Amino acid sequence: MTPATTLLTDSQVATYEHQGWTLVPSVFDADELAVLSAAAVEVMNRPGPEVGREADGSPHVCWGMHLFDDRLGELVHHPAITEWSSQLLGHDVFVHQSRINWKQTNGSIVDWHQDFGTYHRVDGVPEPRGIMIAVLLDDLTATNAPLLAVPGSHREGLVSEAKIDPTTPDHEAVAKYRYDISPETMARLVDTYGLEAITGPAGSVLLMDMTVVHGSSVNISPLRRLILYINVCPTDNRGESYQRPEYYAARDFSPLESHGSDCLRSFIATGAG
């Protein structure tokens, strides 16, 4: 296991800076994953507007996960979130948005976009400084709709050609505030930088610059694909437009404090939720 209290290596930092992301395997063990998975499934069954659903009613995404569950609330204080993001950004961070993404079999795609595109245009986050952190609760493989990303696309900054597409099938769910990138722009980016599938074992943590262009295809496999996302920004790079509810965009800009690498262990011992 990679000790979460250990800072990222020089090689991991260099990979992040060069391609726009780095993936650290074996951060969370099976017991911690069981806690997080149970919490995610429970939260995804909430009836509220923060849960986006597929056409058949199955849950696909829940925004603001850390606001609705103590276990997920504790996750954002894990050193893999607090210390690694502060190391990469050189500043204390806050959670701008958290979410659960459950790739249901034959469910939605996520079209090409930058997370920062929405955070800047809608939430008023001024600068492209932030990290999308993904905690893989399942093995992410070539068979269950891996993340697809354009390495080096963070060097482009904000892709101005992006726009909201009201005709996309998932407009009322995932795509309601998503600025999709045009096929022409995608062709140019891929021709310039290439395209990669991001895979890794359950328990891995992905740290990705929020300006990296990424997306994912439909999961046609019967395999579960559940990911927790925590998007953080430096505390001096906060959005204040307040157009969206708090579960979409932060109202609490307090710097995250580390609760130590064992912060989820109490939930294992007590079975608390």
Q: Which two tokens stand for residue 262?
A: 């064992």
Q: What is the DSSP letter of 182?
A: P
Q: What pLDDT does residue 119 have? A: 94
Give start and end residues of each alpha helix (H) in 20-151: 30-44, 70-75, 79-89, 115-121
Q: What pLDDT does residue 2 have? A: 42
Strand 214-216 relative to strand 110-113, pairing:
antiparallel
pLDDT tens series, the chain, 273 aa: 344 458 999 999 999 999 999 999 999 999 999 999 999 999 999 999 999 999 899 999 999 999 999 999 999 999 999 999 999 999 999 999 999 999 999 999 998 999 999 999 899 999 999 999 999 999 999 999 999 999 999 999 988 665 555 655 554 555 566 668 889 999 999 999 999 999 999 999 999 999 999 999 999 999 999 999 999 999 999 998 999 999 999 999 999 999 999 999 999 965 445
Kindly list the domain boundaries of the chain, sorted by start residue.
17-251
d(CA 183, CA 136): 29
CA 232-38-266 angle, 5° bins: 75
Q: What pLDDT does residue 161 have? A: 64
Give start and end residues of each alpha helix (H) in 114-273: 115-121, 183-193, 265-270
Residues near 219 by Cβ (< 8 Å), separated by ≥ 6?
103, 104, 105, 106, 107, 144, 145, 225
Q: What pLDDT does residue 271 have? A: 46
Q: What pLDDT does residue 168 have? A: 59
12 phi and psi angles, rounded to 5 deg: -65, -40
Q: What pLDDT does residue 171 have? A: 45
CATH superfamily of 17-251: q2cbj1_9rhob like domain (2.60.120.620)
